[in-house]
Amino acid sequence: MIDFKGIHKTYPGEVPLHVLKGVDLHIDEGELVSIMGASGSGKSTMLNIMGILDDYDEGEYRLAGKLVRNLDDRTEAIYRNKLIGFIFQSFNLIYYKNAMENVALPLYYRGVKRKERNDLAMEYLDKVGLAEHWHHLPMQLSGGQRQRVAIARALITHPKILLADEPTGALDSKTTQEVMDMLCEVNRKEGQTVVIVTHEQEIANQTDRRIFFKDGVIYKDER
């Protein structure tokens, strides 16, 4: 599903920062993976490349068998919309849209009609336990609720891959567990590939595979 071969990434700048120094990684369909590592070690950078939000300098990245390199904007958009669901630490909900509309948004870009996408959004809000809060704006929701809205939004397109960058970083331990349960469940029930970047060992322990990151390379990969 995800295939990294010798990926290099340098952030340009006055002092260029060589963040990824030849990452080799293969993740199969249906895996539940966590990525750990010190702050600044390049975890987010790697996840962003996986999600085609960022590009890389050297190496080869294959996503579902297709080489991802210098794609044009349209193709990138299609890949993101069809294959990938993203969950961010800071939720990234659109502040002036209510919960239902936020969840429905990816379907808008798939050309799904308003009525249908709202119905489906309600279904997914129900799955994350927020059906009653459908009309609330993000700022009227708690952090955990916001992240659940974001999860519903990531799930609604049935992405093959779910990428979560510290999804519980802004949450307390109780809501953290709720969010983790949800991510584990989609992996178990729907067989979606889930990649979670985290700092917390407890979260990593709930995944099937733990990848440790150090100095721009993978130094431990345990199942």
Partner 1 sequence: MFDKDFWQEVWETIRRQKVRSLMTAFGVFWGLLILMFMVGAGVGFNSGVTMHTKAMSSNTVGYFTFPTTIAYGGLERGRRWVITDADIQAIEQKFPGSIHDQVLVLEVPSPGETQLVKSDSYSDMVIVAGATDNYPSISPLRILDGRFISKFDLIESRKVCVLGEHLAAKLFPGQEAVGKDVHLEGFSCKVVGVMRKTSPLFHMGPNESESLYLPLSTAQLLYNHWDEQNIALFHLNEEYPSDKYYRQFGDLLYQRHSIAPNDAEAMFQVDLKAQLSQMSVVGDGINLLLWLVGLGTLLAGLIGIANIMMVTVKERTQEIGVRRALGAMPSAIIRQIMCESLVLTLAAGIAGLVAGFWGVYLVSSRLATEEGSLFDNPHVPFIAAIAALAVLVAGGLLAGWIPAKRALSIKAIEALREE
Which residues of the shown chain bind ligand ATP in the complex (CB under 6 A)?
A: 11, 13, 17, 19, 37, 39-45
- Find residue 10's DSSP bridge partners: 18
Neighbours of 109 (CB within 10 A): 12
Quick one: 144 or 167, whose CB is closer to Mg ion?
167
By CB under 8 A, name the one of 110, 188, 214, 220 that touches partner 1: 110
Cβ 220 to partner 1 shortest distance, Å: 26
Cβ 141 to partner 1 shortest distance, Å: 16
Q: At what angle do helices 99-108 and 114-127 cross, to 10 degrees?
A: 120
Cβ 192 to partner 1 shortest distance, Å: 16
Quick one: 44 or 187, whose CB is closer to Mg ion?
44
Q: How far apart are CA 203 and CA 211, in angstroms?
A: 13
E strands in 28-135: 32-37, 58-63, 66-67, 84-87
Q: Does 135 bind partner 1 (CB under 8 A)?
A: no
By CB under 8 A, name the one of 26, 66, 69, 82 that touches partner 1: 82
Segment contacting partner 1 by CB under 8 A, of 59-67, 101-109, 184-192, 214-222: 101-109
By CB under 8 A, name the one of 14, 15, 74, 189 that touches partner 1: 74
Quick one: 44 or 187, whose CB is closer to ligand ATP?
44
Among residues 159, 204, 216, the alpha carbon closest in space to that of 34 is found at 204
18, 21, 45, 166, 199 from 40: Cα distances, Å: 11, 14, 9, 13, 11
E strands in the chain: 2-11, 17-27, 32-37, 58-63, 66-67, 84-87, 161-165, 193-197, 209-214, 217-222
Question: Which one of partner 1, ligand ATP, Mg ion, none interacts with residue 73, CB within 5 to 8 A by kind?
Answer: partner 1
Q: Are 109 and 81 in contact (CB under 8 A)?
A: yes
Cβ 96 to partner 1 shortest distance, Å: 4
Segment contacting partner 1 by CB under 8 A, of 16-24, 82-90, 186-194, 201-209: 82-90
Quick one: 163 or 204, whose CB is closer to partner 1?
163
Quick one: 18 or 113, whose CB is closer to ligand ATP?
18
Share in percent of the chain as helix, strand, coil (round to 5): 40, 25, 35
